[in-house]
Amino acid sequence: MTVKSLAPSQEVISNSPPRFPKGFIWGTATSSFQIEGAAHEDGRSPSIWDTFCATEGKILDRTNGDIACDHYHLWEQDLDLIKSLGVQAYRFSIAWPRVIPTGKGAVNSKGLDFYERIVDGLIARGLEPHVTLYHWDLPQCLQDIGGWENRDVAYYFADYAAVVADRLGSRVKSYATFNEPWCVSILSNELGHHAPGKFDRKAALQVAHHLHLAHGLAMSRLRGMNLTSDLGIVLNLTPAYAASDSEADQHEATMNDGRTNRWFLDPILRGEYPQDVWEAYEEEGVLPTVLPGDLAVASQPIDFMGINYYTRSFVSVDDKKLPEGTEFTDMGWEVFPQGLSDLLIRLHNEYKLPDIYITENGAAYPDQMAEDGHVHDTGRINYLNSHFKAAHASLEAGVPLKGYFVWSLMDNFEWAFGYSKRFGVVYVDYETQKRTLKDSALWYRDFLKEQ
């Protein structure tokens, strides 16, 4: 795969994306720990992210989620804000430690009350609620018994999922079991970047397997509840491009794709782990314990798959570099919209896909409030514009893409980077909690008016 150079974009790209089909769903997304705050209120117990934040050296700006965007208190105005964008849908996550503070067992009604207010508040505003059941804030008490390495936790998750669905029911348009199993397993347990911060590949692969199992167990439970909601899962997929045609680079890209993407796609969509990566892990002695029947549980039919796309991997065995002029976001992630259409089309060709949603796409830029009171985030407008176009191209190729959620509604706690990275289309002043629509939010609103 050759790499074309991309000039940094200063100007707003003038030609906007073409019209999307009628019924295509547009939204914005957030997650509980990143926006809620109210860490000690209404019976919430600590999550692994509270512990991680309290651990020296883990969060770049030494912050935590105690207050975040104070969404727990400001939710009404935040829902109004979502409505004002002209989107049809909002994706958010439920904090397990609010709902079942002890991880398993007793339900904390106040926790469910909060999410019920959100769901009803969205519906009252004509917005579709899309719920993620797990966006990384595992109750710390469950980590204390081994976290996702402990197979029992998969069963506790299914119980928790059923508790949530029992209260919120079919008012919720879609339930996703997990957000980004790769991050929950590999990034958090092999690479140590995220809570619980382990550096153990074998443990990470066991975690990944238990997530697949937990997904399937929760799917069975929710299916049994006769909801009209769609049920599925959200994966982060990062297509791998070999830096050259050399056999070594090509092989490395294939394995990178296998470890990052196929290891998570195949158990869910095919009921198996990819053979090539399985053999490599076997040789290394890091294979997870997989019990008979687990993969059948993991691969039961889903109504939708959410895909979070931000960038690609540029893979070489000898550190080849991207060409001069390549554009990067504030995360240091390459801006590569073509990766989104390539990815979607490839999935469409290689798998039998359910409905697909882009459940996250967006970019961090070092936004500042200008003297005129606006935030001129041209880079983000260009980023979104080019990715919307890529999504549209995939539709034309027949990909069953049904909707698109911009990450994120507002600036928030960006995990190990704390508040130092701004992903929102809405600017948050963390001192005053004032929200201001950035230029990208206005651009998005105008774009939606044309749809």
Looking at the Cβ atoms of 60 and 162, the one nearer to ligand FCB is: 60
**Residues 381, 12: contact at Cβ < 8 Å?**
yes
Interface with ligand FCB includes 308 (CB under 6 A)? yes
Bridge partners (DSSP) listed for residue 241: 314
CB of 414 to ligand FCB, least distance (A): 6
What separation in angstroms does the CA of 64 have from each of 47, 58, 187? 12, 10, 19
* Structure token pair of residue 267: 């158990």
Looking at the Cβ atoms of 206 and 359, the one nearer to ligand FCB is: 359
Q: Which of residues 265-304 bind ligand FCB (CB under 6 A)?
A: none
Interface with ligand FCB includes 183 (CB under 6 A)? yes
Q: Which of 36, 128, 149, 180 is catalytic?
A: 180
- Phi-psi group of 332: left, alpha or beta (phi > 0 → left; psi -120 to 50 → alpha; rest → beta): left
Active site residue 180: yes
- Enclosing H/E stretch for 230: strand 230-236
Query: Which residue is listed with tokens 């002209």?
Result: 86
Interface with ligand FCB includes 134 (CB under 6 A)? no
Angle at 295 between CA 293 and CA 301, to 5 degrees: 110
Q: Which of residues 375-414 bind ligand FCB (CB under 6 A)?
A: 407, 414
**Number of residues lying near ligand FCB (CB under 6 A):** 12
**Residues 408, 427: contact at Cβ < 8 Å?**
no
Looking at the Cβ atoms of 176 and 297, the one nearer to ligand FCB is: 176
CB of 329 to ligand FCB, least distance (A): 10
Query: Which residue is listed with tokens 């706690």?
Result: 413
State which of residues 185, 189, 206, 236 lies at the interface with ligand FCB (CB under 6 A): 236
State which of residues 50, 128, 149, 180 lies at the interface with ligand FCB (CB under 6 A): 180
Interface with ligand FCB includes 137 (CB under 6 A)? no
**Residues 357, 306: contact at Cβ < 8 Å?**
yes
Active site residue 247: no
E strands within 9-156? 25-29, 89-93, 128-134
CB of 409 to ligand FCB, least distance (A): 12
Which residues in this chain contact ligand FCB in the complex, by CB under 6 A? 31, 34, 179-180, 183, 236, 308, 360, 407, 414-415, 423
